[in-house]
Structure 1
Amino acid sequence: MTIHRLLLLIFFLICVTVHASAQTKVLFVGNSITKHGPKKDIDWSGNWGMAASAEANDYVHLVTKALTEKAGTAPQVMVKNIADFERAYSGYDIAAKLKEAIEFKADLIILAIGENVPGLKTAEDKMKLQASVAALLRALKGDRKPAILVRSCFWANAAKDEALQQACAAVDGIYVNIGSLSKDEANYARSERPYKHAGVANHPGDKGMAAIAAALVKALP
């Protein structure tokens, strides 16, 4: 092989490596912490992660900003609220209800759910959640090999978090434990400003959102 051909081969391999590692399409799948539209009866007017003070301050946009700075170009982003999956995960029609997300074919999938899952009272309940979340991740993954991050609950819950962790392991994902964040009152929105609705106030505020984003970015492969 000539030096010229060798250099071309090296350049090609570098390009392939960069392309393969580039996270150009990012899918965020979560609940109100990920995105919640305006709801007057709870005094929430935003259309981003509850209860960040502005769109730029929720964890989705902070992670996207970090990815943009790292790659030098902004990724294509899709954000899906699947609180309905959390509340009724057993028998959920993933293929039909998440068709758009599946067809998005993300390079990076970030799953941030659990808070709305009803309490797991038995080992069978935990197994059902684990199986349902694993099925969800497999559907989003498809026949590709995207990077997958699964975040634990903001409001730490041992049974739910264990089910999430096991589902994450089933698809070779990276589990990100943020359970300690809820122990710090400063991470709650109520510590930053007054809210009329206790449920909104109980969400992570700007500091909590930044901490979630930092944990996710740190875990990125």
Structure 2
Amino acid sequence: MNLRIHKWAIVKRLCYLSLFASVLACGYTDDSINKPPVDVSVTPPNGNTPTLPAAADCDCPVDTPVASTPPTAFARTLIIGNSIMLHLPLPNVGWPYSHGMAASAPQADFVHLLTANLQRVLPSASVTLANGGDFERAYWTYDLSQLDNAFVSKPNLVIVRISENINDKLVDANNFGVHYKRLLDYIAAHSAPDAKIVCSTSFWNNPKSDAVIRTIAAERGYAVACLCKLVGRPEYMATQFTNPGVAAHPNDKGMAEIARILWAQIQ
């Protein structure tokens, strides 16, 4: 009898593990947003500190209001992002949630705010998320085919919302510019022919990678959501969290600003 119970316990555990593995492999759906899990470090890498940037490092364009012309409708949006986009629960650092770190609720993160804007223009608009954290941390060896599944739908809007996990001290040594161009080439080749590509600078103080992103995007005529004016400012950071890595992420106000800046460049 005990042996039979023990065997059943093993089978039950294997079933749970199988289910968990399938969730990791396939992602899940929440509020019509397809979200693959993101498992990234919440501690800024060496060289990335959420301090105020030097004035010379902040080269944001003048903040102008969105044009009053009718907004463009995008049927299929893909956001390539990191923990600011989505982070699954990490209880040991005080993060028990499954949305953009460190928003107070799913509807307060920049993904949901952007999705609301997109679906006001086109109710059937879909938003898919892809993990860009692995590219950030090892872009010099990253296999871009890992993104193939995310581009099956041929998105007509791609938001490249990465840069926080790039070690700014290694940007030159690891030829970040070469690999960022490689990423953008891949995106252009795998998206719809008329796709709009919007790049983004960092919420943390990464002057070298930010400069590379701005330069390459300008060369290609891509819009850039410049977050420099948010960097290191306590009013945009989640200081209510005790873990410094989580606290370095945007709070609700920071998320709203990220969504606003992105939306201005999308339109």
Same fold, TM-score > 0.5, yes or no: yes
Residue 159 of structure 1 corresponds to 208
Query: 1:1-221 to 2 correspondence within 5 Å?
Result: 22-71=73-122, 73-95=123-145, 97-121=146-170, 123-125=172-174, 128-142=175-189, 144-190=193-239, 194-221=240-267
* 1:134 CA displacement: 1.8
Point out where structure 2 has 5 or more consecutive residues left out of the alignment: 1-69
* 1:121 CA displacement: 4.4
Aligned residues: 195
- Give the AA of the match of 2:127: V
2:197 is paired with a residue whose SS is strand
* 1:207 CA displacement: 0.2
Cα separation, partners in 2 of 1:165 and 1:46, compared to 1, 3 Å: same
* 1:124 CA displacement: 4.5
- Give the AA of the match of 1:40: P
> What TM-score, normalized to structure 2?
0.68
Q: Is the 8 A contact 2:171 2:208 kept in 1?
A: no
Large movers: runs of 4+ above 6 Å: none
* 1:117 CA displacement: 0.8
Pairwise CA RMSD: 1.8
For 1:74 and 1:181, the matched residues in 2 are separated by: 32
* 1:40 CA displacement: 1.6
- Structure ranking higher in helix proportion: 1
Which stretch shifts more, 114-123 or 57-66?
A: 114-123
